[in-house]
């Protein structure tokens, strides 16, 4: 049976577009406005970053957004409380991207309860190893929150197969070796990598890290089911270029799933 994220990414029959924003960047009061705008633009889901002091996977743009959010007093608890107030207006899945430390500090069971109350559909935890998932998975499963797992260009084939067999929501395929941020081009191995992940996945495969313009989105769409765009979306919001965001999100229109 499909979970909510998987259903949302496939029911329209087109490639998926998932923007990333940093909660609290520009003030926590702006979160609702940004989410509703992205929903109106046609985003299939939204990844919400939780600011953290030691973001090992984040590039300069997202790090700076996280610092701005932390300076605004943003915390995981405040984000969930804020989303809870307007969850009825959100019809697309919301996916939290956070590190393990804030979850441990919050309390795993309490986090899962509060995230479910806020209408959160999924969770991405970049520093949670596959071998340690049992630490948090039962609490997420109890509240039907999908754990989104990541694979990279350097992930061994057998491990990709194992991740593929466990996957819920979608598999997050990291398109670069390194941290988030815009890239001029992708590895020559990208097509083979994404194809290999799709071959073993029972859920959609979305590519992220380094995807920053419509041309790159269309290029990556050839090999997977959708993309996640973060740094570029953050920059466009900072520049108040809403038309640019709308145009980028609309890249998926007319490109059907195969």
3-state secondary structure (DSSP) of residue 178: coil
Q: Quote the tokens at residue 175.
A: 């398109």
Euclidean distance between CA atoms 71 and 24, whole angstroms? 9
Could you say which DSSP state residue 239 is in? Answer: T
Give yes or no for a contact between 122 and 146, defined as CB atoms under 8 angstroms apart: yes
Let me know if 47 is a catalytic residue: yes
3-state secondary structure (DSSP) of residue 153: coil
Euclidean distance between CA atoms 17 and 165, whole angstroms? 24
Which residue among the candidates 25, 44, 47, 225 is catalytic per the annotation?
Answer: 47
Q: Quote the tokens at residue 122.
A: 């999924």
Euclidean distance between CA atoms 94 and 113, whole angstroms? 15
3-state secondary structure (DSSP) of residue 144: coil
Which residue among the candidates 25, 44, 58, 225 is catalytic per the annotation?
Answer: 58
Q: Which residues are catalytic?
A: 47, 58
């Amino acid at each position: 049976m499909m979970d909510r994220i998987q259903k949302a990414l496939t029911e329209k029959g087109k490639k998926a577009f998932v923007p990333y924003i940093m909660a609290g960047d520009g003030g926590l009061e702006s979160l609702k406005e940004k989410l509703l705008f992205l929903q109106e633009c046609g985003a299939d889901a939204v990844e919400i970053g939780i600011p953290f002091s030691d973001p090992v996977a984040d590039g300069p743009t997202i790090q700076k957004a996280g610092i701005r959010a932390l300076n605004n007093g943003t915390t995981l608890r405040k984000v969930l409380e804020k989303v809870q107030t307007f969850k009825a207006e959100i019809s697309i899945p919301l996916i939290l991207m956070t590190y393990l430390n804030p979850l441990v500090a919050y309390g795993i069971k309490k986090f899962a309860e509060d995230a479910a109350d806020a209408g959160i559909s999924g969770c991405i935890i970049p520093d949670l190893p596959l071998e340690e998932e049992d630490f948090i998975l039962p609490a997420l499963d109890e509240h039907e929150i999908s754990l989104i797992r990541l694979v990279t260009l350097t992930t061994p084939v057998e491990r990709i197969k194992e991740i593929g067999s466990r996957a819920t929501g979608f598999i997050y395929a990291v398109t670069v070796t390194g941290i988030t941020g815009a890239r001029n081009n992708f590895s020559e191995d990208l097509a083979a990598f994404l194809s290999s992940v799709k071959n073993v996945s029972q859920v959609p495969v979305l590519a992220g890290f380094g995807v920053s313009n419509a041309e790159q989105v269309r290029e990556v769409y050839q090999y997977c089911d959708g993309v996640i765009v973060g740094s570029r979306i953050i920059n466009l919001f900072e520049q108040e270029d809403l038309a640019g965001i709308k145009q980028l999100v609309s890249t998926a229109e007319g490109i059907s799933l195969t």
